[in-house]
A and B are shown apart, each in its own frame.
Chain A
């Protein structure tokens, strides 16, 4: 059923080089409207590189990135304007700014003040903990709160596709569960399309509808997440054997 629709975000044969190192060797993937798509892979597989290439934060050597079948511009600020936001790896909240100011930064491309306020309310409804800490400096938040802020900040731009780079990184399992539950909410209630990359393969496969497995810069496998979750190969390589 999903395959009948056109993909909202489409990556075709994406190649990215860092000097002599080829970090992405022709990666292709599709994300359909309303979907959660996960990309799982080990350290150094090229997950963050792919996200940064979509955002225009690292230059691409070749390949295409399409949003609604139209080529995505190459500069970050234009990509955000087109409707793609990233919650970056390691959260990267602006430590010396308050929670509110961080959210305002997320809404930078939006000029309508009342739309920004409305968006802030939605983010606070999703993460009430941020509302309690709205005047606190982001640097003084806990790791989990900083991750919530990073996601909230990305939502502020009202993206059409939300990119998440390892939202589980360095967090306790109980916080990871809380955050992933919110992501399901964002997807179901707001209809937000999400592309998530994760090392935590199990959580990512449980959250997503479809998934890709990336290894040293190439897509190794793709399929429905529910199937991949029970694939013996995947279980052995990414889910830590039998559980």
Chain B
């Protein structure tokens, strides 16, 4: 029972970090209808900005995190501006953007390999990781609780932004029909920039926590595969779906690690994906059956 509760909390914590990544990825998908494979790059950029701000800049964790989030958001805008806008202004075929995003993913990864090397780096111990007794029923780490709470704060913030603000409304309209949103007087390029900034920023939050969990290296972005899987399980383009799918994955991974073996984690993840695609091809919250790459 104690293992169960412990792994439950750890699972929620991991799942909520996946959710931060999956939600941004889903948001981009819902507006531009392509899978942005460079999404993991934003996470790595956020991680490295935080790392260098702490190590070389000597900043405190708040300033370093702030810089990491803004930096990740801006890098997402730049990637969109350089690689996707020229394509979407020429053709409505979104497959080209998907291919470009694979290219950008490789570019970002290798920029880090070439400039600062591929070695694993640990963030200075600024985020507490000490064990915490959870109401006397289980032991977990302060890190897990902190990342869970942080993820929830950012997800609630995103929800408030989408529901309460004018640009949030425009994003919801655009994720139904971007062209018609443009006819309403929305500057579509600005809307897309806001979407990418938001997605990059959320990935940056995930990047900081994942750097602490797994250390930081240029290929850390590959973990986004899990978030993609979560988004597909939840239903591509659906934000609640992305969150639920992420929590399911996080829990499944931690339960597998706790009760079976850590080595089976990925097996279980892709098992869930395959079963979902067979039983409900549109995912838990998905509506339309379109091309989902």
Binding site for B on A (CB under 8 A): 55, 57, 75-77, 80-81, 86, 88, 92, 94-97, 101, 104-106, 108-109, 153, 157
Contact = CB atoms under 8 A, between A and B. Distances in A.
B279 interface: no
Contact of A55 (B170, B172, B181, B183): B183
Contacts of A81: 185
Interface in B149-181: 166, 169-170, 172-173, 176-177, 179-181
Contacts of B184: 80, 105-106, 108, 153, 157
Given A97-B172, A101-B169, A104-B169, A92 B185 contact: no
23 contacts: A55-B183, A75-B187, A76-B182, A77-B186, A80-B183, A80-B185, A92-B177, A94-B172, A94-B176, A96-B176, A97-B172, A97-B176, A101-B169, A101-B172, A101-B173, A104-B166, A104-B169, A105-B169, A105-B181, A108-B170, A108-B184, A108-B185, A157-B185
Given A80-B183, A92-B177, 6 more contacts: A94-B172, A94-B173, A94-B181, A101-B169, A104-B166, A105-B169
A97 B162 CA distance: 12
Contacts of B179: 57
B53 interface: no
Given A101-B169, A104-B169, A108-B166, A77 B176 contact: no
A76 B183 contact: yes
B100 interface: no
Contacts of A76: 182-183, 185, 188
A96 B180 CA distance: 13
Between B172, B181, B183, B188, the greatest number of chain A beta carbons within 10 A of the residue's beta carbon is seen for B183
Nearest to A139: B176
B134 to A, nearest CB: 39
Contacts of A108: 166, 170, 184-186
Nearest to A59: B89
A55 B184 CA distance: 10
Contacts of A88: 180, 183
A95 B166 CA distance: 18
A241 B179 CA distance: 38
Contacts of A104: 166, 169
A154 to B, nearest CB: 9
Interface of B: 166, 169-170, 172-173, 176-177, 179-188
A57 B181 contact: no
Contacts of B188: 76-77
A143 B181 CA distance: 20
A80 B173 CA distance: 17
Nearest to A90: B180
Nearest to A104: B169
A105 B170 contact: yes
Contacts of A109: 185
A189 B60 CA distance: 63
A57 B182 contact: yes
B136 to A, nearest CB: 45
Nearest to B167: A108
B169 A77 contact: no
B145 to A, nearest CB: 35
Nearest to A76: B182
A157 B186 CA distance: 12
A231 to B, nearest CB: 34
Contacts of B166: 104, 108
Nearest to A77: B187
Contacts of B187: 75, 77
Between B172, B184, B187, the greatest number of chain A beta carbons within 10 A of the residue's beta carbon is seen for B184
A105 B184 CA distance: 6
B175 to A, nearest CB: 8
Nearest to B174: A94
B183 to A, nearest CB: 6
Contacts of A55: 183
Contact of A96 (B172, B185, B186): B172
